Structure formats: C-alpha cells, structure tokens
C-alpha cells in the first residue's frame, strides 16, 4: 500500500514539474524576443539614418574603388554640414532616383568649375582668378578630355569619377543637386585586403 502511494506521489511531482519547465521556456523565449526588439530598435535607426552599406558597381572610381567592393556610407554627417571638396559621396542619380552612383565632389555651391587642358580649375570668392585643383588621389598619368564649364548655384555640386575616361558624371548629365546626396563613403568593409577607413582628400 505504501509503495502504491509513493508511486502516486512520484507521478504527482512529475506532472506538477511540467508547468514549471513550460514556464521557464516561455520566459526564455520572451527574453529572447525582448532582446531582439531592443537590438532592432538600436540597429534600424543606424541602418536607415546613420550608416548604410553600398556595393561599388562598375569601374568609374578606379583605381581607388573597384567593382564589388563593399562600403559603409555615413548618412549623418551631411545633416550637420555640407559635402566638402574631395569627399567621395553616394547619391541618387538625378535621371533615375532608384539608381545610386558613387563619385567625388569637385565643385562646391557658388563656384565656377572649368575643365580644360586635361585639368580642373576652380573660381570662387577666395580665388576669383581661379586655381588649378590638385588631385592627389588620381594617378599622375590620368588623362581627361573635353572642355566644360559649370556655374553652380547654392545647392549644386560638380561630381566626377576618379576614372575620368570611364565615368558617367557631371560632364555627362550636369550638376548634382544637394537633395540627391545620400552620404559619404567612410569605410571599406570588403574585400579583406582593402578593409579599413576611407581617406577623403580635401
């Protein structure tokens, strides 16, 4: 008789333990979901308002950026200041806002930019007579053909690809309006051999 009662007691303990295990599982799942929500709350604003990935497509920025390279784009800085000369930016192509381009800032609002004799010349308030733009990020033997002149309004920029012979840029489709700018390239995440921050000339 006592053995039967002990068996029943064991059964009761086993059954009563089941809800405790279920409760522990629910707590674990709940904690996981809570952490996931917190992580998403932190990551999504960063992804959409601070930084986003960008994959280089094409050869227009060679030799400094190559097809397939994975970059991180800083979207926050240009809420606080304007793009600077020499910075590499990503923007929505004015002719098709679904397409993103990567180019280098050459001319700033209020300036006049001339491209002639294979070089870039800038006229502004500080240099009304103009100056030849030094571009240390380009190979010494870089060639550029054609003559162009841009007079920029307050919200307009001249952007060029580093690969001057193989780039669709301001020479092809005109000046870039500030409203199309997404951000500046700040970090190269892929390939591993090129991993690191991006130096922007100014």
Residues forming beta bridges with residue 69, ordered by sequence position = none
Structural domains of the chain, count: 2
Catalytic residue among 2, 60, 77, 172: 60
Please tell me the pTM assigned to this model.
0.74
Range(s) of the domain holding residue 164: 56-197
Q: Among the three residues 52, 78, 93, which one is the final residue of a domain in this structure?
A: 52
pLDDT at 37: 55
In order of 30, 89, 117, 157, 175, the CA distances from 114 in angstroms are 62, 21, 10, 13, 13
Phi, psi dihedral angles at 176 (to 5 degrees) = -105, 125
202 is catalytic: no
Judgement on whether residues 60 and 150 belong to the same structural domain of the protein: yes
Tell whether the torsion through CA atoms of 84, 88, 94 and 100 is positive or negative. Answer: negative
Judgement on whether residues 136 and 114 belong to the same structural domain of the protein: yes
Judgement on whether residues 148 and 165 belong to the same structural domain of the protein: yes
The mean-pLDDT minimum among 26-30, 94-98, 167-171, 177-181 falls in: 26-30
Of 103, 74, 66, 73, the C-alpha closest to 191 is 66
* Other Cβ atoms within 10 Å of 177 Cβ, number: 14
Judgement on whether residues 13 and 80 belong to the same structural domain of the protein: no
Residues forming beta bridges with residue 93, ordered by sequence position = 96
Strands 131-132 and 156-160: unpaired
If you average pLDDT over residues 5-29, what whole number do you get?
56
Residue 198 reports pLDDT greater than 80: yes
Catalytic residue among 2, 103, 167, 168: 103
Query: 115-128: per-residue pLDDT in tens?
Result: 999 999 999 999 99
Phi, psi dihedral angles at 33 (to 5 degrees) = -65, -40
Phi, psi dihedral angles at 157 (to 5 degrees) = -135, 155
- Residue 202 counted as domain residue: no
Judgement on whether residues 40 and 68 belong to the same structural domain of the protein: no
103 is catalytic: yes
């Amino acid at each position: 008789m006592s053995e039967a009662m002990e068996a029943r007691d064991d059964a009761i303990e086993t059954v009563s333990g089941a809800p405790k295990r279920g409760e522990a599982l629910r707590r674990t799942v709940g904690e996981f979901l809570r952490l996931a929500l917190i992580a998403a709350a932190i990551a999504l604003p960063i992804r959409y308002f601070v930084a986003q990935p960008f994959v280089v497509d094409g050869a227009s920025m060679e030799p400094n950026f190559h097809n397939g390279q994975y970059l991180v784009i800083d979207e926050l800085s240009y809420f606080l200041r304007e793009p600077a000369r020499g910075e590499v930016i990503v923007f929505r192509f004015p002719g098709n806002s679904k397409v993103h381009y990567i180019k280098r800032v050459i001319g700033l609002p209020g300036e006049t930019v001339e491209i002639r004799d294979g070089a870039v010349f800038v006229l502004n308030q500080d240099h009304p007579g103009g100056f030849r733009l030094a571009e240390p990020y380009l190979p010494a033997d870089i060639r550029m053909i054609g003559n162009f002149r841009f007079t920029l309004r307050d919200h307009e920029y001249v952007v060029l690809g580093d690969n001057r012979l193989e780039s669709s840029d301001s020479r092809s489709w005109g000046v870039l309006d500030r409203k199309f700018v997404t951000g500046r390239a700040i970090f190269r995440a892929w390939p591993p051999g090129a991993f690191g921050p991006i130096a922007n000339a100014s």
